């Protein structure tokens, strides 16, 4: 009997879950041991998030048995999960925007009280500060979390998992929005939990992270466990082969088509976050925006999309002045943005897939103010096919789709607009390697048809693999513009910091 078998704290037997038209889990058998970091990987839709939601008491399994330290237990709700020592960092942050960090961290747990219903705010602050100190995190505690950055919001969600003491920690894409510095802090916490004999189940599409911090890895595909092994015996290539069922020939599809005339020209653009930015992007060109987190990349896209106002400079779209007063104004002129947080800014989760796809195109799918639902379905299915959307019924809520397919719905929505400029903010965030290749193929195809594309990504390799040119931004100012020839990661980082390389 192996050490892991001797120390099993959670055993899953025959776990199954059926959604309408989709078999999410098919007889999953899994075990997790104390004092280990266990990686769980697979493509979007492989069943990882469904498994975690069942263990969190959010979703009820159709079949299966859960054994905690060899004893059968049932989880009906989140309180059952907490009593069994399970703690969760979910892929979706699920924060209450008008609550501050303290209130969100202890949401669902008991607030310290003075008398009766009165909250002891001094004690709540002290407990919050103790958790943040353990994680080596600094956060503003009195602001509503809606005012926090994406990184700060992610750290709030991570801190919430430590509001009560647990023995098994599930981390579903915990580092997606984190900077490299914040990620190192998270990894130190993971190793500290392991040293205390706790169990960490780490779920991510970042295979480098999996190979770095885990002891064992389980690979899921199509709702089943297809491989499990000690991490030291695995490579990135073997993980990808098990995840998608075949080797991945290339991370990026080849360029197609030619670059045409300028579509967008920006001269000395500025506002509260940007200063004196000038650049152009051509038909059929993919322009990458390089820079560190907080450099102003997202703010640039938001200014071009009419979310933020420009206070100086000029913008020309197809040689005509372009100063969007709102996103609708930008969309009407053929400028579309795929936002960083698709569930917050790109989708209406409580509506159907076909409604989400046609959300930007209501004037085209209505007559005299009445929606033509048959036409909507036809247009939505056509747009879905163009982005290789994998969905059972387009009438199902978009929330039932995997992360990769949700991102494809956002792409389908923008494709229906036939934009002249497509701006992508973190296009592969939370998307697995197989779906990433499909998204990269979609981007390449749109460029080959003459769409001018601007890409912002925290993944250096993504920008280097897609872009024809790269504009580097530092502290809200343009540092340089480079042809994407012979730029490696070292060059890329130096340009991000504004350093010239001989």
Residue 448 confidence (pLDDT) above 90: yes
**Which of 309-318, 364-373, 421-430 is predicted most confidently?**
309-318
Which fold would CATH assign to domain 3-244?
A: Rossmann fold (3.40.50)
Cα 450 to Cα 278: distance, rounded to the nearest angstrom: 22
pLDDT tens-digit series, residues 177-191: 777 777 888 888 899
Residue 312 confidence (pLDDT) above 90: yes
DSSP letter, residue 253: P
Residue 251 confidence (pLDDT) above 80: no
The answer to whether the Cα torsion of 210, 426, 394, 433 is positive or negative is: negative
Distances (CA, A) of 347 to 15, 35, 58, 328, 401: 30, 39, 21, 16, 12
Q: Are 264 and 284 in contact (CB under 8 A)?
A: no
Sheet strands (E) in 34-131: 37-41, 63-68, 71-73, 86-89
Q: Are 346 and 339 in contact (CB under 8 A)?
A: yes
Pairing of strands 37-41, 199-203: parallel
Q: Which two tokens stand for residue 162?
A: 């430590």
Using alpha carbons, select from 482, 491, 330 the residue that is nearest to residue 414: 330
Q: Are 57 and 78 in contact (CB under 8 A)?
A: yes
Question: What pLDDT score was predicted for residue 1?
Answer: 47
Q: Which two tokens stand for residue 500?
A: 């010239």
Q: Is 217 exposed, middle or buried (0-12, 13-18, 19+ CB in 10 A)?
A: buried
Cα 468 to Cα 459: distance, rounded to the nearest angstrom: 16
Question: What pLDDT score was predicted for residue 306?
Answer: 94
pTM for the model stands at 0.65
Pairing of strands 22-33, 8-19: antiparallel
Q: Which two tokens stand for residue 215?
A: 């002891």
Residue 493 confidence (pLDDT) above 90: no
pLDDT tens-digit series, residues 102-136: 999 988 777 777 766 788 888 889 999 998 888 88
Local confidence band at 248 (pLDDT 50, 70, 90 cut-offs): low
Domain 257-334+421-430+454-502 in CATH: superfamily? P-loop containing nucleotide triphosphate hydrolases (3.40.50.300)
**Sheet of 86-89, strand order:** 86-89, 168-172, 199-203, 37-41, 216-221, 224-230
Give the SS3 label for residue 13: strand
Q: Are 86 and 166 in contact (CB under 8 A)?
A: yes
Q: What is the mean pLDDT of the chain?
A: 87
Q: Are 407 and 439 in contact (CB under 8 A)?
A: yes
Q: Is 203 exposed, middle or buried (0-12, 13-18, 19+ CB in 10 A)?
A: buried
Q: Which two tokens stand for residue 154?
A: 């992610």
Q: What percent of the chain has pLDDT over 90?
A: 43
Q: Are 415 and 451 in contact (CB under 8 A)?
A: no
Cα 494 to Cα 489: distance, rounded to the nearest angstrom: 9
Least reliable range by pLDDT among 2-11, 82-91, 122-131: 2-11
Q: Are 228 and 217 in contact (CB under 8 A)?
A: yes
Using alpha carbons, select from 189, 181, 206, 461 the residue that is nearest to residue 294: 181
Using alpha carbons, select from 385, 391, 392 the residue that is nearest to residue 411: 385
Q: Are 189 and 181 in contact (CB under 8 A)?
A: no
Q: For the chain, give every residue range classified as CATH 3.40.50.300.
A: 3-244, 257-334+421-430+454-502
Sheet strands (E) in 43-125: 63-68, 71-73, 86-89
Distances (CA, A) of 358 to 310, 376, 403, 414, 416: 29, 7, 19, 9, 7
Pairing of strands 452-456, 86-89: unpaired
DSSP bridge partners of 221: 224
The Cβ-side half-sphere exposure at 423, using a 13 Å CA radius, reads: 25
Local confidence band at 60 (pLDDT 50, 70, 90 cut-offs): very high
Question: What pLDDT score was predicted for residue 344?
Answer: 76
Determine the average pLDDT of the residues in 432-446: 83
DSSP bridge partners of 269: 277
Q: Is 144 exposed, middle or buried (0-12, 13-18, 19+ CB in 10 A)?
A: middle
């Amino acid at each position: 009997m192996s050490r892991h078998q001797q120390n099993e704290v959670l055993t899953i037997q025959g776990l199954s879950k059926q959604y309408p038209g989709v078999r999410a889990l098919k007889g999953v058998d899994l075990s997790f041991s104390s004092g280990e970091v266990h990686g769980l990987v697979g493509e979007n839709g492989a069943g990882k998030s469904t498994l975690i939601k069942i263990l969190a008491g959010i979703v009820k399994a159709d079949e299966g048995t859960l054994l905690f330290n060899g004893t059968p237990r049932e989880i009906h709700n989140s309180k059952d999960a907490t009593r069994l020592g399970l703690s969760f960092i979910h892929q979706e942050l699920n924060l209450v925007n008008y609550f501050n960090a303290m209130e969100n961290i202890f949401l669902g747990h008991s607030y310290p009280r003075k008398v009766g219903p009165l909250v002891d705010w001094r004690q709540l602050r002290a407990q919050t500060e103790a958790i943040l100190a353990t994680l080596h995190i600094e956060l503003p505690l009195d602001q509503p979390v809606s005012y926090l950055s994406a990184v700060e919001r992610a750290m709030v969600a991570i801190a919430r998992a430590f509001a009560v003491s647990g023995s098994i920690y599930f981390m579903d894409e915990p580092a997606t929005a984190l900077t490299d510095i914040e990620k190192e802090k998270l990894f130190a916490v993971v190793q500290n939990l392991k040293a205390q004999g706790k169990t960490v189940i780490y779920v991510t599409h970042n295979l480098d992270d999996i190979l770095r911090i885990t002891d064992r890895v389980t690979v899921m595909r199509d709702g089943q466990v297809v491989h499990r092994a000690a991490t030291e015996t695995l490579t990135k290539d073997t993980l990808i082969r098990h995840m998608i069922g075949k080797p991945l020939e290339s991370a990026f599809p080849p360029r197609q088509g030619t670059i045409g005339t300028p579509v967008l020209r920006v001269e000395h653009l500025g506002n509260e976050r940007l200063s004196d930015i000038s650049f152009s992007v051509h038909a059929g060109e993919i322009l990458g925006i390089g820079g560190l987190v907080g450099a102003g990349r997202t703010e640039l896209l938001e200014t071009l999309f009419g979310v933020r106002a420009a206070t100086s400079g000029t913008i020309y779209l197809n040689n005509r002045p372009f100063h969007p007063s709102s996103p609708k104004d930008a969309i009407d002129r053929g400028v579309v943005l795929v936002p960083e947080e698709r569930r917050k800014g790109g989708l209406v989760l409580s509506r159907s897939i076909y409604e989400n796809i046609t959300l930007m195109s209501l004037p085209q799918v209505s007559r005299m103010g009445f929606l033509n639902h048959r036409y909507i379905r036809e247009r939505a299915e056509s747009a879905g096919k163009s982005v290789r959307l994998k969905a059972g019924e387009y009438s199902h809520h978009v929330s039932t789709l995997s992360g990769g397919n949700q991102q494809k719905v956002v792409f389908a929505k923008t494709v229906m607009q036939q934009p002249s400029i497509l701006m992508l903010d973190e296009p592969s965030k939370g998307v697995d390697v197989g779906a990433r290749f499909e998204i990269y193929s979609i981007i390449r195809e749109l460029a080959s048809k003459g769409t001018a594309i601007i890409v912002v990504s925290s993944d250096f390799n993504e920008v280097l693999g897609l872009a024809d040119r790269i504009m580097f931004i530092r502290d809200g100012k343009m540092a340089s513009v480079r042809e994407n020839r012979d730029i490696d990661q070292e060059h890329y980082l130096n340009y991000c910091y504004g350093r010239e390389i001989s």
